Amino acid sequence: MNSISRRHLMQAGVGTLMGMPLAALAQAARGGVLVIGSTQKPRHLNSAVQSGIATMFPAAQLFASPLRMDAQWKPQPYLAEKWALSSDNRSVSLTLRKDAVFHDGRPITSEDLKFSIETIRDNHPFKTMYAPVNAVTISDAQTAVVRLAEPHPALLLAMSTSLTPIIPKHIFGDGADPKVHPRNANPVGSGPFRLVEFKPGEHIVMERFDRFFLKDFPRLDRLIVKEYKDTASLLLAFERGEIDVHPALADPRDLERAKKIPGVQLVTGAQPAIGPLLWLAFNTKSPKLADKRVRQAISFAIDRKFIVGTLFGGLHKVATGPIASGSPFYTSEVEPYALNLAKATQLLDAAGLKPGAGGVRMSIEIDILPGLNDVKTMGEYLKPALSKIGIDVVLRTSPDFPTWARRVASQQFEATFDSVWNWGDPVIGVHRTWASSNIKPGVIWSNTQSYSNPRVDQLLESAAKEMDLAKRKAMYKEMQKIVVDDCPVAFLVESNVTEGYLAKVAQPPRGIWGMVDAMAEVGIRKA
């Protein structure tokens, strides 16, 4: 990941869409229907109050953000045609386009920008993303100033697609709780596509918004997201041509099958900003797992090289800590938790867990993240792996994603597999998992482990306002060492995401968010 320089943060360009001249894109054919497959099951479509790709992908189509990020991590104009960061890094002035309207025809104004940022700050699970914002002041209908209590090194990144959807104040500002607002499932949007139909568990149908402020975009007539029960049925649909896009080929066997599809385009490392990590999360408030020695023992009993090399066919790599290796803030100087059964046994003995009948020291229930066959396979691997140190594993599979999310968010679990993403900068996607201030019962992908360490809290607080890159790196290095030692999760796999496109798909997304970005420039090739 490239750090974003102050020059990049302050500049505002025009006339490009994700680094490509608009004129060049405009010459491509318009029209056609693009069908995307997914195993994600969104509860609603308002990413101002909900994290996770299930909601954030469709929301990126339905809502525009102030900025977009190109493949070089540089901010580009979107709803905001220009911006300026103050010399003290405590405010940014944004000027909105005058021709932008919501899907109901109402103009998008600075009042909507103010309302959206404040709604996100107060309700989004990524609590640290806009925590420094203490006011949004309005200069005129198109100009607003976001004012900060302290510098925010990732402010403009936070204003890009999916993270900051501009939602209409005249719809969502009616006093209802935004997290459960009835229009979350049927929103009036600001983006390139408008909602036609949302049938949870089946599909999301969107169509081109003809009054979108980028006049020649989007190129597609219609964009459809079809939901599938699991990765096996999703892959079969891709092979049969029922869908045009496979969003994440993570299993090596699936990838090999996808390669055989005539003309298929495979984009590996397509989502560099996201940094997906797969881990085994522990409920640190559970009496069984409150002692970090027990958590460390479990981590030492897991053969990550076997998981990555055999279960995943070498497609991914071993995860070592809370920050993905592509980030400039990553450090390898942490406890690696290489397979060590003797060490695991010593830790359990020290924790007072002596072998009982049949050598069993304790039992643990592990929740399976639904819809992912590779996670189920890892769960089956853990049963014999942990039995070697006297831990009996009981696997619990939720019938669907919402059920799993409710269990985990409410801390009604002992341990669970989870896939958590970094989201570009630690202050956006990492802090939320480890800051004790973000222990939010009922909110998925907050600090659901109930992890608390005062020194980690201090480091995160300092790093969130430090503009010096070297100093931030030092803070995050110390933080990673502490988190890995405390072992609130057993880090397992860092995913190498591959997106798949049938040959007819033109101009797949190439920004830092990959598919979790507006697909305004995507089209269908002429036969």
Domain annotation for the chain: domains and CATH numbers: 15-269+498-524 (3.40.190.10), 276-494 (3.10.105.10)
Nearest to 359 by CA among 389, 394, 395: 389
Average pLDDT over residues 271-291: 91
Say whether pLDDT at 9 is over 70.
Answer: no
- Secondary structure, 3-state, 343-384: HHHHHHHHCCCCCCHHHCCEEEEEEECCCCHHHHHHHHHHHH
- Compute CA distances 351 → 354, 423, 490, whole Å: 9, 36, 18
The end-to-end CA distance of the chain, in Å, is 37
Query: How many C-beta neighbours within 10 Å does residue 395 have?
Result: 14
Q: Is the pLDDT of residue 471 over 90?
A: yes
Joined tokens for residue 138 = 């309005």
Q: What is the pLDDT of residue 370?
A: 81
Nearest to 496 by CA among 318, 327, 331, 279: 318
**226 phi and psi angles, rounded to 5 deg:** -105, 130
What integer is the mean pLDDT of 468-489? 97
Closest CA to 405 of 420, 392, 390: 420
Residue 409 pLDDT greater than 50, yes or no: yes
- At residue 510, φ and ψ (nearest 5 deg) are -130, 10
The percent of residues in the chain predicted with pLDDT above 70, rounded, is 94
Backbone dihedral angles phi then psi of residue 330, each to the nearest 5 degrees: -75, 145
CA distances from 431 to 9, 103, 418, 438, 461 (A): 22, 34, 16, 8, 9
- Give the pLDDT confidence score for residue 28 in this predicted structure: 52
Q: Give the 3-state secondary structure of residue 242.
A: coil
Query: Which of 307-330 are b and which e, b meaning 16 or more Cβ less than 10 Å from the residue's Cβ?
Result: bbeebbeebbbbbbbbbbbebebb
Using the structure block, give the residue that is written with the tokens 């599909």: 203
Distance of CA 181 to the CA centre of its chain: 22
Q: Which helix (H) or strand (E) holds 266?
A: strand 265-268
Kindly tell me the sign of the dihedral angle through the C-alpha atoms of 318, 247, 514, 116.
negative
Burial of 352 (0-12, 13-18, 19+ CB in 10 A): exposed
Phi, psi of 137 (to 5 degrees): -105, 145
Structure confidence at residue 515 as a pLDDT band (50, 70, 90): confident
- Residue pair 500/264 in contact by the 8 Å Cβ criterion: yes
Burial class (CB in 10 A: 0-12, 13-18, 19+), 354: exposed
Q: What is the pLDDT of residue 20?
A: 45
Give yes or no for residue 477 having a pLDDT over 90.
Answer: yes
Q: Is residue 69 pLDDT above 80, yes or no?
A: yes
pTM listed for this prediction: 0.82
Task: Please tell me the predicted confidence (pLDDT) of residue 47.
Answer: 95
More confident residue, 455 or 54: 455
268 pLDDT tier (thresholds 50, 70, 90): confident
The mean pLDDT value for 176-187 works out to 96
CB atoms within 10 A of CB 75: 23
Of the pLDDT bands very low, low, confident and very high (cuts 50, 70, 90), residue 2 is very low
How large is the average pLDDT for residues 204-222? 96
The answer for residues whose C-beta is within 8 angstroms of residue 155's C-beta and 6 or more apart is: 9, 85, 92, 146, 148
For the chain, what is the mean pLDDT?
91
Q: What's the mean pLDDT in 358-362?
A: 94
Rounded mean pLDDT of 35-58?
Answer: 91
Q: Lowest-confidence range among 38-42, 132-136, 214-218, 431-435?
A: 38-42
CB neighbours of residue 485 within 10 Å: 12
119 or 231: which carries more pLDDT confidence? 119
The percent of residues above 90 in pLDDT, for the chain, comes to 74
Better pLDDT: 270 or 262 = 262
More confident residue, 11 or 443: 443
pLDDT at residue 179 greater than cutoff 80 = yes
Strands (E), 347-494: 362-368, 391-397, 415-421, 489-494
Comparing CA positions, the residue from 131, 127, 157, 129 lying closest to residue 2 is: 157
User: pLDDT band for position 96 (50/70/90)?
Assistant: very high
- Using DSSP, state whether 305 is helix, strand or coil: helix
pLDDT at 299: 98
Could you tell me whether strands 489-494 and 276-282 are parallel, antiparallel, or unpaired per DSSP bridges? antiparallel
Q: Among 120-129, 268-277, 498-507, which range has the highest average pLDDT?
A: 498-507
What residue type is assigned to position 332 of the chain? S
The answer to whether residue 118 scores a pLDDT higher than 70 is yes
Q: What's the pLDDT at 5? A: 37
